[in-house]
Amino acid sequence: MDTTHPVHPPSEKGFSAPPRSAASGTPDRTSRLGWLDALRGIAALVVVFDHSSYAFMAELRPELTAQFNTSRYGIMVFFLVSGYIIPASLERKGCIRTFWIGRMFRIYPLWVAVVAALLVASLLGVANIRDFGEQSVATVALAHLTMLQELLSTPNLLLVLWTLSYEMAFYLLVVALFTVRLHQRSTAVAGILAVLAAASVAAGLTLPASALSDRVGTGPLIAVALIAMVIAVCCASAGSPAFRLFGGLVGGVLALVLVPFNGTVPMWEGLVILAVMFLGTAIYRAESGQRTWRVAAWTAAVVLTCAVGSAYASGDGGHFTRRGWIAAFLLAVLTFGVGLTLRHRRVPRWLIGLGTISYSVYLVHPVLLAVTDGTIGRWQQNNLALEVAFYAVLIPLCVLTFRFVEAPSQTWGRRLARRVQPP
């Protein structure tokens, strides 16, 4: 989901940096990417509502989610935004090394900060950490270090981190396509993944969650994934074309194995998630003139048909009702389409600001919820006052984490990227 890239990627990562206010350092609202900020901000608020409703809107939640899966809606919007902007951020300069530096400095600093905050809250006795069963601390830490823990049969320290595993798999695939010079074929990739999702349902191909880990063992799979990640990032960032090709292929194979065969969501949904991100890429290519809008429209039709058909045919699952999932998916695509249609309109500054802090909103809110669970507990009835109060505390807190964690780390990443970027 694209909670993990800057509101406006800096010039070495994809687009020219937007005009900024000298006083505030925030993007100007007339930026041509303001519509993406708006989508991120809206998606972040919806995801927060989905999770906070467990604690403060217990009566409303089951009635709503049966008809409309709020979590999947927000996440699918994030994934579409990621698909639109991440490949462009790699292709603008054509440097995999600077791409990975940008990703690491964007994702990990805040991730480390919120994990540390959760550990401190646990030590203080105001929050509980999830039970990892028989997995050792070292195993859990290594799995999370790869950011692929959701695909490595390791429970997420924070539940929301599962989407970052699919984001990382998407990065690996984007780099792989770039190294083999097939990145312009993203429309075909989206269609193929969607068709495979539908075919898996039609063929009755279902696997238990984390099927690959059950066969080879969680520890060995984590070790293999960690080594593969190091090879993929280091070799793909090397100067030698042969090393770049090898690293790209290793990362791509890793993603294509883990997503369908070791995810905790059904195989079809894992493939649909990747298809949705590549649909975002297809739309970007049409908008930038690299492909026609007709091709993008046909791609969207294939992805929507296969995704909805897969969800309907698979029936209700443990984590969704098919009606709620389909409604959320279709509305997410519609929301992205409306944003795209209005992309040349002026975007309100508050929406751009909300998009700016959306990654903080996404990662910080489960920590805050863990604290409220450990202090005031969960309410059996709807309590709108507490729901509003939660947002009133969360948003200013996320402004601070952006100001003191995200913004400095992004600056450091840009400086490092400029130093190592080939002439």
Supply the pLDDT for residue 295. 95
Supply the pLDDT for residue 9. 35
User: Which residue numbers in the chain have pLDDT < 70?
Assistant: 1-32, 318-319, 422-423
Supply the pLDDT for residue 319. 66
Supply the pLDDT for residue 418. 87
Work out the number of other CB atoms within 10 angstroms of the CB of residue 249.
18
Supply the pLDDT for residue 8. 37
Work out the number of other CB atoms within 10 angstroms of the CB of residue 281.
30
Closest CA to 115 of 144, 89, 86: 144
Q: Is 395 left (phi over 0), alpha (psi -120 to 50) or beta?
A: alpha
149-208, pLDDT tens digit by residue? Answer: 999 999 999 989 999 999 999 999 999 999 999 998 989 999 999 999 999 999 988 888
Supply the pLDDT for residue 208. 83
Supply the pLDDT for residue 423. 60
Cα–Cα distance for residue pair 44/321, rounded to 1 Å: 22
The full set of domain ranges for the chain reads 130-314
Closest CA to 154 of 215, 232, 145: 145
